[in-house]
Structure 1
Amino acid sequence: MTVSNDADYIGLQRIGRIVADTLAAMGKALEPGITTAELDGLGRSMLDKLDARSAPELAYGFPGATCISVNEEIAHGIPGPRRIERGDLVNIDVSAECGGFYADTGASFAVPPFSKSIARLCRDGRRAMAAGVEQARANGPIAAIGKAVGRFAHRNGYSLVRNLESHGVGRSLHEEPGGIATWPNPKDRRMIHDGLVFTVEPFLSLGAECAESGDDAWTLYSYPSAPTVQYEHTVIATRNGPTIVTLPSGA
């Protein structure tokens, strides 16, 4: 999607705030003993209250309102009876539609107690995403996003999952431009135009290099198996730099 008027901007800001507030509430509720189904139920309730619809459910028939991935699962985890335990690393991905506009956000949460290396991984996952977001500028190269994330990961001793990509969003959950690498990809010659809407969502890891399928049609696992985090924002690229639409109320 390309933002072309104030109505587009207002619509994206609205749905961006909805998914961000939902993610924040789910993160706050995360504690040992809660099931991923119960956590998903909280997310669904918030989306319903704010007149929003789950995007993965709407677009793909995903069996849940949100994606919740625990430990070895790194993306598209199906909410269910699994109970959160002390020390778990949990990724929550919230995407939704409201008024014809879509936004997508996500974050990883470490449930205490956790090691210093996991605390550092979560901190640096946010920093890796920020490095990519900073490159979301009109008239800049799309490849600058992955280059910046890759530079950060290499400098700090991390690996990057290289088969899960960022994507265009706005009028649907996944749209052009597709295949936005969050790792160095010098073959990508595409440019970012003013008003382009897309996600920035690197997967930073302590050793994993790709995601592989499991026993169901959705859940993806780290390979080689290693702690992995993902942080995601939806952004609008402008001549003055990135506008992040997935910020919670009051941020």
Structure 2
Amino acid sequence: MSIESDIDLEGITKVSEVVATTLRQMREHTKVGMTSRGLDDFGYAILQSYGAQAAPKVAYDFPGYTCISINNEAAHGIPSDTTVLQEGDLVNIDVSAELNGYYADNGGSFILGEDTKGLGKLVDTSVSALYKALKEIRGGRKIADIGRIIETEAKKNGFKVIKNLVGHGVGRSLHEEPHEIPCFYDKQETRRFRKNTVVAVETFISTKGSYVHEKGDGWTLLADEGAYVAQHEHTILITDGEPIILTAANGI
């Protein structure tokens, strides 16, 4: 969306703070032995306390309030009463919400407890790639340049990027123009970021494989067998200089 007024700025700032606070508190609340459904319910209670609606359910009738993806699940994992979180799990929580007609989106992967699978470098690379990319985003910058930054950081650390999961515009709906902000370099991509617009920039960093596939439940996207994917996401407002990270309160 384009920020056309102080009302727009106030609206997108508020919903961004809500999703960021929800994500941070969900991360802090996550414990070994709890179910992903229990964690999802906890997050929904926070959204409700702010009067916000869960965007995946509102926009797409997703069977949960947040997306919680575990280990081999790269994105859009469905919260479940049978999924019990274990020590060393790679957990991704993606929180998006609607409040007073405005939408924001953020997410992040983390290791639950001890790093038994040796995935710390993967998570760190996803975070560093995101911040290196964000630092360079401004009005007039090519979208393809940002994909190159993320992909370069991944390769430098021995990882790949997922090419069929992307960032996107956000604001008046959950997914807006630009509908695709890739985390890889695409020489065919000629669009540029526009000042005073809001986008959600995401990294999808993989231990192996560059594509994910559907699990068969209509939602969950899986990495290759034996692979792991770390994702981190901020909603930002594009300026002439470094962007304003609207979801900075998520602590990522």
TM-score by structure 2 length? 0.96
- Partners of 2:226 and 2:147 in 1: CA distance: 23
Q: 4+ residue stretches of structure 1 with deviation over 4 A?
A: none
- Partners of 2:23 and 2:29 in 1: CA distance: 10
Q: CA offsets, 1:146-176, max 9 Å, x none?
A: 0111111122211011100111100000011
Contact 1:88 1:111 in 2 (8 A): yes
Equivalent position amino acid for 2:77 in 1:
G
Q: CA offsets, 1:106-149, max 9 Å, x none?
A: 00010122148411111111101112212320111111110111
Tell me the percent identity: 39
Contact 2:135 2:243 in 1 (8 A): yes
Number of aligned positions between the proteins: 251
User: Using a 3 Å threshold, how does the CA distance of structure 1 residues 120 and 249 change in structure 2: closer, same or farther?
Assistant: closer
- Equivalence for 2:182: 181
- Equivalence for 2:3: 3
Q: CA offsets, 1:164-209, max 9 Å, x none?
A: 0111100000011111111111111111111111111010111131
Equivalent position amino acid for 2:29 in 1:
A
User: Using a 3 Å threshold, how does the CA distance of structure 1 residues 250 and 223 change in structure 2: closer, same or farther?
Assistant: closer
- Equivalence for 1:94: 95
TM-score by structure 1 length? 0.96
User: Using a 3 Å threshold, how does the CA distance of structure 1 residues 165 and 249 change in structure 2: closer, same or farther?
Assistant: closer
- Equivalence for 1:214: 215
Give unpaired runs (5+ residues) of structure 2.
none
- Partners of 1:147 and 1:72 in 2: CA distance: 25
Contact 1:200 1:233 in 2 (8 A): yes
- Equivalence for 2:14: 14
Contact 1:210 1:224 in 2 (8 A): no
Q: CA offsets, 1:5-51, max 9 Å, x none?
A: 22111111100110000001110111111100000001100000001
| SS of 2:248 mapped into structure 1 | coil
User: Using a 3 Å threshold, how does the CA distance of structure 1 residues 69 and 249 change in structure 2: closer, same or farther?
Assistant: closer
- Equivalence for 2:74: 74
Contact 2:69 2:91 in 1 (8 A): yes
CA drift of 1:249 comes to 7.7
- Partners of 1:80 and 1:181 in 2: CA distance: 29
- Equivalence for 1:197: 198
